[in-house]
Amino acid sequence: MLQGKHYINGQWVESCSGRTREILNPFDASVIASVSEGNREDAKAGIEAARHAFDKGGWPQTPATERARLVFKLADLIERDHEELARLESLDTGKTVQESRWDMDDIAGIFRYFAGLADKDGGEVIASPNPDSTSIVVREPVGVCGQISPWNYPLLQASWKMAPALAAGCTIVMKPSEITPLTTLKVTELAEEAGFPPGVVNTVLGAGPQVGAELAESDKVDLISFTGGIETGKAIMRAAAGNVKKVALELGGKNPNIIFDDADFDLAVDYALNGVFFHAGQICSAGARVMVQEGIHDRFVEALRTRMERIVVGNGFDENTQMGPLISADHLSKVEGYVKIAQEEGARLMLGGTRPNDSALKNGYFYMPTLFTECKNDMRIVQEEVFGPVISIERFATEDEVIERANDTIYGLSAGFWTRDSDRIERVSKALRFGTVWANDFNVYFVQAPWGGYKQSGLGRELGKIGLEEYTEVKHIYRNH
Ligand code: NAD
């Protein structure tokens, strides 16, 4: 039985207030769990435990090979409970169980990658102006880390933070999204089973303005790592200024997918679909902004519409389902609001724009794949993150024009483009101002490659070697004689 409680200092504990929160299944709004609802006092207890484990518990001094052993063990346990975790993630988020299985594959690999890096950095001897001296540069764990994750990829996003922090020798307080805490709770149980010392891994449940805000404000937290929306990210940055804690932010995206006339047409259509309809478009890197060169525009729209009509919307536990529901009633209203705004602003609705006409889905938060054409750069549907199964198509004429328009956004998370021209691949990859650029592909990420945003899409990087370095401080030790 999953513990729906906080995990603090190696103990499962109820909230100070005794309050609980019901967790809903987005498929039919039924209650699937009741978990403790934390407040600032609970967050303080989690921080206290992590502080003690870092300052007095010996975790940063634990040999890196031993830390790696525990992180590897956690990866093995995740692999052991892979199917249970995948089903729990689908229950909590509504995404198809196949997508959740892919997430779990990635997650086990993420823990292994960072476990493997834990004991690889032996520091560096550097040249010093004094020949009698020795100068070395070492990396040390940054300290107590607050880790706040979103609801769209609950465990995947948590693992991007948890794995490098533990490998680096930090202690952590995780706060999953209050609407999707189940897989983070399950992995907390697995961390307990793996044998991490008390206080090294803590999980505190609850709402952002309570538990999350305490983590961001606390003087006892050394780093806050946050994935979520831009406005929350800005609030966290302001809160973190109190003790100048380190801030890592993975925020939203509005990601152009640019199709040049000379693209491999069928592949580009395939990936335009894959780029958006995973998890019903609730992906920070969704390629919801599709820009098509005029020579193939009409044919592309038609092909896309035909393929979108065939997307099977339904229960994520049915293996034939290709797209599940949105996360919540509030989010469904937000997506519906954007569709209305797009029509008011003059975009042309080619498909969708409704909830499904299927009584079996009537209690869930479903929305049909939706396609807009005749979209312009200044429309809100083009500039803002809809986070739903909605594609906006813009037409363009030249390479220069499309680069200028694609870069004309406050976001800078990811972008993709399709062409067979090798020189153009060189030029366009350099000209696009985004943290990740895909040529002839979309939405590819892997643990070896850094992930993060230019502009307002974020601060710092997760994954890759740099993902571990973010959890370290750099120290120069100068020794004279
Ligand atoms: P959100 O900002 O509403 O919430 C994210 C987390 O922050 C939740 O755990 C929430 O409880 C917490 N929170 C809310 N208010 C807070 C506050 N005042 N102080 C501290 N914590 C607070 O975002 P969401 O709706 O859960 O997630 C969707 C967003 O996440 C989208 O914008 C998406 O693009 C972004 N996202 C980005 C990436 C990336 O890699 N860049 C990945 C996934 C999601």
Cβ of 263: how many Cβ atoms within 10 Å? 22
Q: Tell me, what DSSP letter sits at residue 434? A: S
Assess contact for 282 and 390: CB atoms under 8 A: no
pLDDT of residue 1: 56
Q: To the nearest whole number, what is the mean pLDDT of the chain? A: 97
36 lines ligand 1 (CB under 6 A): no
Catalytic residue chosen out of the listed positions 89, 217, 250, 399: 250
- pTM > 0.90: yes
Alpha-carbon distance of 371 to 359, in angstroms, equals 23
Expressed in angstroms and rounded, the spacing between residue 435 Cα and the centre of ligand 1 is 19
Q: Which pLDDT band, with edges at 50, 70 and 90, does 3 fall under?
A: confident
419 lines ligand 1 (CB under 6 A): no
What is the rounded average pLDDT of the residues 119-134? 94
Assess contact for 397 and 294: CB atoms under 8 A: yes
Q: Whose CA is nearest to atom 12 of ligand 1?
A: 208
Reported ipTM: the value is 0.96
178 lines ligand 1 (CB under 6 A): yes
Q: Is the predicted pLDDT of residue 335 greater than 90, yes or no?
A: yes
pLDDT, tens digit, 9 for 90 and up, residues 391-420: 999 999 999 999 999 999 999 999 999 999
pLDDT, tens digit, 9 for 90 and up, residues 13-25: 999 999 999 999 9
pLDDT, tens digit, 9 for 90 and up, residues 270-306: 999 998 999 999 999 999 999 999 999 999 999 999 9
pLDDT, tens digit, 9 for 90 and up, residues 31-71: 999 999 999 999 999 999 999 999 999 999 999 999 999 99
Cβ of 380: how many Cβ atoms within 10 Å? 15
151 lines ligand 1 (CB under 6 A): yes
The set of residues, in sequence order, having a beta carbon less than 8 Å from that of 36 and lying 6+ positions away, is: 4, 5, 6, 13, 14, 15, 19, 20, 21, 42, 205, 206
pLDDT of residue 446: 97
216 lines ligand 1 (CB under 6 A): yes
pLDDT of residue 355: 98
Alpha-carbon distance of 165 to 169, in angstroms, equals 6
What is the rounded average pLDDT of the residues 89-101? 97
Tell me, yes or no, if 214 is annotated catalytic: no
* N-terminal to C-terminal alpha carbon distance within the chain: 60
% residues pLDDT > 70 (the chain):
100
Token representation of residue 64: 């890196």
- Which of 39, 47, 110, 232 maximizes ligand 1 atoms within 8 Å of its Cβ, making it the mutation to test the pocket? 232
